[in-house]
Chain A
Amino acid sequence: MTKILKVSKLGKTYTSGSKSLTVLDDINFELEEGETLAIVGPSGSGKTTLLGLCAGLDGPDTGRVELCGWDLNSLSEDQRARLRNKEVGFIFQDFQLLPTLTALENVSVPLELQGFKGAATVATELLAKVGLADRVQHYPSQLSGGEKQRVAIARAFSNQPSILFADEPTGNLDEETGEKVIKLLFDLNKEAGTTLVIVTHDLELAQKNQHILRLKGGKILQEAGTTVW
């Protein structure tokens, strides 16, 4: 099996005025292709920062992240963007759909960025798969929370990513809708064989993953029953 995500000695500190705050300290772990991982921990434990660093949305102060064989430190901002476009999918707690684009256009954009000609066809198929065949021309403001998140899932899978990062995917949804969305996410993930990294508060959701990484105060907690790197 190939290592798709390799995090070593990762550290991140934020400075505000004269005060500095260490958000992540000496984080190490690895993930194989097709595996699933949940990152859990209390608010402010550094979960989202870790997700951002793993996806190359931000650079670490110490340590390194290797994503799909690329050392992110060696890539420029734009190269990291292209790597994300080719290899990474995202799902966010607050959906992060482009409000001025229809559902279809939102799902098409990652493929269009690759220069893929049949983006609209693939996007239509994906939207049908997530049960939104009749909502393709709707704008995000015309969709419910669950529908928005389904569009976000379709967008995340549109570029057939090697790895998918999900930041609290059910955080803004009611329980019933949340369950449906998670089922959809895991079904699609299984079908595509994508590596999945989920940041969540929901322990039930965390248990559905092969690995759980517990964070507290920016460090990995070693607990029984938890896979630790």
Chain B
Amino acid sequence: MVKDDLKKSNTSKRWLFTMAWRDGKASGSRLGLFMGSIILGITAVVAIQSFSQNLQNNIALRSKVLMGADYLIDARQPPNERVMEIIDSLGGAEGMEVNFASMASFPKADASKLVRVQAIEGNYPIYGEFETVPPEAAQQYQGNNGALVDATSMIQYGLSPGDSIKVGRSTFEILGSLKSTPGGSSTSSTLAPPVILPYSAIGETGLLQTGSRQEYRYYFRAGEEMDLEMMYKKVDPILDAEEADLDTHTDISRRLGRGWGNFGKFLNLVAFVALLLGSVGIASSVHIYINEKLRSVAVLKCIGATSRQTFLIYLIQIAGMGMLGGVIGTVGGIMLQELFPLLISDFLPFELEISLVPQAIILGLLLGVTLSVLFAMLPLLNTWFVSSLQVLRVTDENPSRVRKTAVFVFLAILAFIFGFSLWLLGNWQYALAFVLAILVTFLILSGIAMLIMKGLKKYFPSSWGFIARQSLLNLFRPQNQTMVLVLAIGVGTFLISTLYFTKDMLLASTTFKQNSNSPNIILLDVQTEERQDVIAQIEPRGLNVIDNIPIVTMRVSSINDVPVNTMRLDSTTQMNKWVLYHEFRVTFRDSLIESETLVEGNFVGNYSGEGPIPISLAANVASDALIEVGDKIVFNVQGVLMDTEVASIREVNWARMQLNFSVLFPTGVLESAPQFHVITTNAPDEATSAALQKDLVKAFPTVSILDIRQLLGLVEDIISKISWVINFMAFFSILTGIVVLIGAVRTSKYQRMRESVLLRTIGAQASQILKITALEYLYLGILGSGVGILLSLISSQLLALFAFETSFTPSLEPFVLLPGITLLVLLIGLSNSRSILNSPPLEVLRKEVR
């Protein structure tokens, strides 16, 4: 034999697979547990990825139907001549619409409701259709001067075609119930259900008044050769200058996609956390698994296997299990995504068609293998470094070599998490923040686990009884489960309770103190001449008029002597240009209100008549418009130019449910300008509120009524729907935590078995062993869930402080998690000991672990 013979291996790769299979099939149930750890995470990631992709595809495919046209031009006021010229030059619009919010009353039901009126002329929708019952109503309403009314409202008020609806001063016959409109979602129609009328009849309603919020839309069909992008680039700037806007169907799909995109990214991260949690489970299970295999590895090396061969045998096993986990997880994900449309259908403007997304499938399979191998690598490397001498005696392995490699593996794991989150989020700063957040959470949890182990070791209560001492010992002796269980339970609890707390904060920031001084009915668009009559309807009922706020609409004409037209063309400015196009709704008063805080300058309440008018700007507007105290702004108040100077800047709490203003004038200026009013009152109960609304709509058909009580109900409904989806995802984390827990407990079972049996052999009672085990898992459960909740309290406090800017009072639900999860941990732990307790010691001792 020459030395070269010793250099090369005669073993085929097939043998490595054969060995991996032989060994793996005898360890099947234990390998299955590693696999289980990642299945749920992969299921969640694949489901969301696949669903997101399907949603984007659906939106892209249906963008024309969602818009009802190839492109549209919209404006907040009747288009001027220049805009009409552009419309003509584009070949004329096929259809047009003016839409606005208004009260509508249903005489048959003796009820009224805030609706979104869409007055339509010509051929709209060009693509898609109004889905009505009866179907022909969609074609008839224009010719027959009839109305199409939102189907849910029809059911709500017991209406049927042939009944009537009163909008403004006109009454229309309802020709059909409207089941869907292009781009309309169930949520948007709950806020203000659509009512479709012929445009020709809208003048008579008297609702198109100056100051009321309305939108004009002109719908176009594009010629086959038309390049929409090019046209957009050419026409949109011209329209912008005329306070109009051009949108193409691709814009719509992009906007819708973005809306889901952020939410989808968030859900993806939650799923990814579940996956990482599962990966920690893999690391811990493989660690225990490989430790038990080291003797076999040493035997293999002794009879001639190389380090590489033994390493590859177990690598193949783990990668194989990872792949299988990936396949099962991916199949699960594909099935799960079918559920998503049910969860979020209310937010979608169309019915979703789900199909297979290859990208998500490949992702699931790759994730299974990559994460398994990556997180199992550290324990796997032990097979490389273990010495064949282990067959003769337990020897010290080379810890410095292991440690050096561990650093590389750890860096590789971090790089993977960063890379994956970068791919998910598309922004390296966010990805870095996510990695850091994960790192900090894991470090805190593992730090606490380590501290507890060290603390117990150092200050061990030696005077305690046998059972208490044994159970505490289990927490820190070699191959304990403290670290992995605290991590798994901690992260799961942390996620779930943070989500709960966040939901509380979201709800808290939208609710307001219910007392007789806070308005719950807001009357919009009250004309000056109607004001006293409206008040006369309110006060005799014993209700107070809380606000009577005058509103004057105006636009910016120039800032510091630079005309808006010049600024609009300035491509170098950092200014947020919406300010230059916006129609401001301005009020005047002599003092600040509760939701406003002066942050700069002096607030001037009354105008003396000399010099420019001292106004107050909201801080967000000042910062968007790059305006400081002392800057001069000229406003165009319906044709009259007014010179003003920014005297103060206010921080406005927009989250407060009350009327807030970007621009505030002093008294003594706008009193005689054309204006309308917002009047608010508080109706103590539903019945008073309904009666007031009914009478007001009858007497003042052009006044719109916002019922805050109803609105809050809707907001809560929306938030609870969203939080349902979030909870659903967080559930995956907890479930993964449980699987990891079962995995860790089951894997360590084989270690614990011998010890428990030895204890029994030397005379321990079953109840004593049971108590030792129960106490150990009780400690672990309390520790993991306790730390998780503590962390979530801290993170929620930070969220409240920086993100929601609200005070944070934790709700009780998350605290129910603590005993719940502890109980679960306890049950899993105890179920594990059953087989030990029920078998005679010799039987267990003979059952050498296979």
Query: How many Å lie between the Cα of A69 and that of B142 in the bound state?
Result: 105
Q: Which of A106-114, A123-131, A189-197, A200-208 contacts B (4 or more CB under 8 A)?
A: A106-114
Contact B303 A101 (CB under 8 A): no
Nearest A residue (CB) for B298: A96
Contact A78 B299 (CB under 8 A): no
Contact B304 A81 (CB under 8 A): yes
Nearest B residue (CB) for A78: B306
Query: How many Å lie between the Cα of A113 and that of B299 in the bound state?
Result: 13
Contact B26 A96 (CB under 8 A): no
Q: How large is the interface on B (under 10, 10 to 19, 20 to 34, 35 or more residues)?
A: 35 or more
B388 sits at the interface (CB 8 A): yes
For residue B311, give the distance in angstroms from its CB to the closest CB of chain A: 11
Contact A57 B308 (CB under 8 A): no
Nearest B residue (CB) for A55: B302
Q: What is the 8 Å Cβ interface bit string for chain B, positions 14-57, against chain A (1 contact, 0 not)?
A: 01001100110011000000000000000000000000000000
Contact A98 B300 (CB under 8 A): yes
Contact A115 B22 (CB under 8 A): no
Residues of A within 8 A of B389 (CB): 52, 57-58
Counting chain B CB atoms within 10 Å of each CB, the highest count among A70, A84, A99 belongs to A99
From B296, B299, B307, B848, A77 is in contact (CB under 8 Å) with B307
From A48, A83, A90, B6 is in contact (CB under 8 Å) with A83
From B1, B299, B387, B393, A98 is in contact (CB under 8 Å) with B299
Q: How large is the interface on A (under 10, 10 to 19, 20 to 34, 35 or more residues)?
A: 35 or more
Residues of A within 8 A of B846 (CB): 141
Within 8 A of A (CB), among B300-339: 300-309
Nearest A residue (CB) for B847: A141
Query: How many Å lie between the Cα of A165 and that of B307 in the bound state?
Result: 22
Query: How many Å lie between the Cα of A115 and that of B395 in the bound state?
Result: 30
B11 sits at the interface (CB 8 A): yes
Counting chain A CB atoms within 10 Å of each CB, the highest count among B300, B307, B309, B389 belongs to B389
B7 sits at the interface (CB 8 A): yes
Within 8 A of B (CB), among A76-110: 77-79, 81-88, 90, 92, 96-101, 105, 109-110
B234 sits at the interface (CB 8 A): no
Contact A81 B849 (CB under 8 A): no
Residues of B within 8 A of A115 (CB): 9-12, 15
B225 sits at the interface (CB 8 A): no
A167 sits at the interface (CB 8 A): yes
B391 sits at the interface (CB 8 A): yes
Query: How many Å lie between the Cα of A88 and that of B303 in the bound state?
Result: 8
Contact B26 A139 (CB under 8 A): yes
Query: How many Å lie between the Cα of A85 and that of B6 in the bound state?
Result: 10
Residues of A within 8 A of B26 (CB): 99-101, 139
A51 sits at the interface (CB 8 A): yes
Counting chain A CB atoms within 10 Å of each CB, the highest count among B11, B15, B19, B388 belongs to B388
Contact B391 A100 (CB under 8 A): no
From A58, A75, A81, A100, B306 is in contact (CB under 8 Å) with A81
B392 sits at the interface (CB 8 A): yes
B850 sits at the interface (CB 8 A): yes
Residues of A within 8 A of B304 (CB): 81-82, 84-86, 88, 110, 113-114, 159
Query: How many Å lie between the Cα of A79 and that of B305 in the bound state?
Result: 10
A79-B7, A81-B301, A86-B304 are contacts. A99–B848 as well, Cβ < 8 Å?
A: yes
Chain B positions within 8 Å of A, measured between CB atoms, are 1, 3, 5-7, 9-12, 15, 18-19, 22-23, 26-27, 295-296, 299-309, 387-389, 391-393, 395, 846-850
Chain A positions within 8 Å of B, measured between CB atoms, are 48, 51-52, 55, 57-58, 68, 70, 75, 77-79, 81-88, 90, 92, 96-101, 105, 109-110, 112-115, 139-141, 155, 159, 167
